[in-house]
Structure 1
Amino acid sequence: MIEVEHLTKRYGPTTAVRDLSFTVRPGRVTGFLGPNGAGKTTTLRMLLGLVEPTAGTATVSGHSFRHRPRGLRHAGALLDAHDVHDGRSARAHLHALARSNRITKQRVDEVLDEVGLTDAAARRRVGTFSLGMKQRLGIAGALLGDPPVLMFDEPLNGLDPEGALWVRGLFRRLAHEGRTVFVSSHLMSEMESTADELIVIGRGELIAAESLAEFAARGTAPTVTVRSPDAAALAVVLAAEGAAVTPYERNGLKVDGLSAVRVGELAHEHRFPLWELSTRAASLETAFMELTADSVEYAAGESR
């Protein structure tokens, strides 16, 4: 479990994280969202003991991570896939991590195999790796200690569609095993495909901590799209029922304020033939854009 309580981080006059509190529970994938400058990376670095909080606490399984000996057995993390010595081979890099945490060489081979880095790739210098290969190596490092808590910052950067599909499956499996999986990402589509819960912040403050469905439902209500050869006449009937009706392409209408079922009933009652009747479901991206609109930060510094 990850617990953040009244966490604050200031850099001089700039407050990157402000009185932030949330809990990330095991057995599910929790997405960590926020616009650029929201304070996500700073929060992750405080959780991992890489940055000292100005106030508040950030604990992993009830303890400050910086006080954990052999930390990779307690939490694994991928923060920056480029943060590896380019002159080392992938295997040498993982062996160094393993030695410092008293992890066996056999486990190194297991995680290399799990992330799809072949023996030939494992012998190559990391400086020759593509970004996608570096991401896989970073994930291997996070898995090395077989920890109960895992944190990933933008893990899909540089991965091809097959790699992205593999990562989604990996996260689901880790959560199914009862681990705490915390994923920071700006890709709304990936969160829709992967996350069970969301933590959303803006300008270092909490905006939402709830299920994916609950957050998506915060956005604009679903819009009904209808097409009919008698679209103009149908629009009059729908408007009389209290709907907001907007012409849409040829013979189409976008309808707000009525359900698709009610639109269909009215069309049937007035004998309007329909070519299309569909509903655009509540969108995670729409909810995110609406709820974080006042939290977008364009200043230099914290990038995520």
Structure 2
Amino acid sequence: MIELRDLTKRYGGTTAVNRLTLTVRPGHVTGFLGPNGAGKSTTLRLVLGLHRPTSGTVTVDGTPFADRPRGLRHVGALLDAGDVHGGRSALAHLSALARSNGIPRARAEVVLREVGLADVARRRIGAFSLGMRQRLGIAAALLGDPPVLLFDEPFNGLDPEGVRWVRALFRRLAAEGRTVLVSSHLMSEMEQTADHLVVIGRGELIADESLAGFAARVGPAGVTVRTPDPAALTTVLRAEGGAVHAGADGSLVVGGLTAARIGDLAYAGGIPLHELAPHTVSLEEAFMDLTADRVDYPAGGRR
């Protein structure tokens, strides 16, 4: 479990994280979202003790991470896949980390197999592609078999097979009861990977809730309907309590009724339907709506 209480970090006159209070619980894949400059990377570094907070506290399972002498046994993290010595082999890199954290050297070979790098274990990291470096970074995070894992932009550079593998890995780790926090700007991946979301903007908490609850903030799901008799269908649906609005393309957008109920009512009224398509608010739509006033560098200069 990761707990932040009134966590604040200032750099001179700039506040990167402002009184951030939240709890990241085990058993979930928690997506960590926010616009560029929102304070996500700073927050992760505060969790890992790489920066000291200006005020407030951050603990991992009740203890500041910096107080743990063999940190990789408690927290595994991928912050920057490129921050490794290019002249070392993958096996040498992980073996050094294992030795400094009191982890058996054999564990390095185990995690290299797990991330699909066993065949290149003795190749120099400088020759690795970005996707291979990402896999190596994930291997390093898994090295100590920790209960808490942090990943910053883990999908960068991965091919489709790698993305699917990472999704499945995160879900498995959470199912094992671990705390898994994933920071990413890829909304489509968060929609398919996370089951809980934390959203910040300008260092402040905007949302801390389930994926479904976050999407529902923007508006309820609706149903797009096409019919040659929109007036008759509108009358029937409104009588049933549906909210009906005309779409720009001649369709009807209906809220408050399921697609099945709309179909039943149209059938009972003898009204033909040419389309009946339920839709939900996407994570990207919800994110853009809720962070619109927290973007520091909007395209076109708009705020």
Scaled by the length of structure 1, the TM-score of the pair is 0.91
Instruction: Determine if contact 1:219/1:284 at 8 Å carries over to the other structure.
Output: no
C-alpha change, 1:243 and 1:173, in structure 2 (3 Å) is: closer
Q: Distance in 1 between matches of 2:264 and 2:115?
A: 53
Partner secondary structure for residue 85 of structure 2: coil
Partner secondary structure for residue 45 of structure 1: helix
- Number of the residue aligned with 1:163: 162
- Number of the residue aligned with 2:126: 127
Q: Distance in 1 between matches of 2:18 and 2:102?
A: 37
- Number of the residue aligned with 1:85: 85
Q: Distance in 2 between matches of 1:104 and 1:238?
A: 67
Partner secondary structure for residue 121 of structure 2: helix
Partner secondary structure for residue 292 of structure 1: helix
Pick which of 281-290 and 32-41 moved more.
Answer: 281-290
2:197 is aligned with 1:220: no
Q: Distance in 1 between matches of 2:267 and 2:121?
A: 65
Partner secondary structure for residue 135 of structure 2: helix
2:280 is aligned with 1:281: yes
- Number of the residue aligned with 1:16: 16
| Unaligned 5+ runs, structure 1 | 300-304
After TM superposition, give the deviation of residue 126 of structure 1 in Å. Answer: 1.1
Aligned length: 297
Q: Deviations over 1:263-286 (max 9, x none)?
A: 435533542211211211232222
- Number of the residue aligned with 1:201: 200
Identical counterparts, % of pairs: 69
- Number of the residue aligned with 2:116: 116
- Number of the residue aligned with 2:94: 94
2:268 is aligned with 1:290: no
Q: Deviations over 1:199-230 (max 9, x none)?
A: 11111001111111211211222221112233
Q: Distance in 2 between matches of 1:191 and 1:242?
A: 31
Q: Distance in 2 between matches of 1:199 and 1:129?
A: 32
- Number of the residue aligned with 1:49: 49
Question: Quick one: which amino acid aligns to residue 154 of structure 2?
Answer: P
Instruction: Determine if contact 1:47/1:65 at 8 Å carries over to the other structure.
Output: yes
Instruction: Determine if contact 1:219/1:283 at 8 Å carries over to the other structure.
Output: no
What is the 5 A alignment of 1:132-211? 132-211=131-210
Q: Deviations over 1:101-130 (max 9, x none)?
A: 1211110000000000023x1111111111
Question: Quick one: which amino acid aligns to residue 9 of structure 1?
Answer: K
C-alpha change, 1:242 and 1:25, in structure 2 (3 Å) is: closer
Instruction: Determine if contact 1:220/1:286 at 8 Å carries over to the other structure.
Output: no
After TM superposition, give the deviation of residue 71 of structure 1 in Å. Answer: 0.7
Instruction: Determine if contact 1:154/1:183 at 8 Å carries over to the other structure.
Output: yes
Q: Distance in 1 between matches of 2:26 and 2:268?
A: 52
After TM superposition, give the deviation of residue 65 of structure 1 in Å. Answer: 0.8
Question: Quick one: which amino acid aligns to residue 279 of structure 1?
Answer: P
Pick which of 276-285 and 121-130 moved more.
Answer: 276-285
After TM superposition, give the deviation of residue 198 of structure 1 in Å. Answer: 1.2
- Number of the residue aligned with 1:76: 76
| Unaligned 5+ runs, structure 2 | 299-303
Question: Quick one: which amino acid aligns to residue 253 of structure 2?
Answer: K
Instruction: Determine if contact 2:242/2:255 at 8 Å carries over to the other structure.
Output: no
Q: Distance in 1 between matches of 2:263 and 2:175?
A: 41
Pick which of 105-114 and 195-204 moved more.
Answer: 195-204
Scaled by the length of structure 2, the TM-score of the pair is 0.91
Q: Distance in 2 between matches of 1:221 and 1:210?
A: 16
Q: Distance in 2 between matches of 1:122 and 1:175?
A: 27
Instruction: Determine if contact 1:226/1:277 at 8 Å carries over to the other structure.
Output: yes
Q: Distance in 1 between matches of 2:62 and 2:39?
A: 22
What is the 5 A alignment of 1:234-273? 234=233, 243-249=243-249, 252-256=251-255, 259-261=258-260, 263-273=262-272
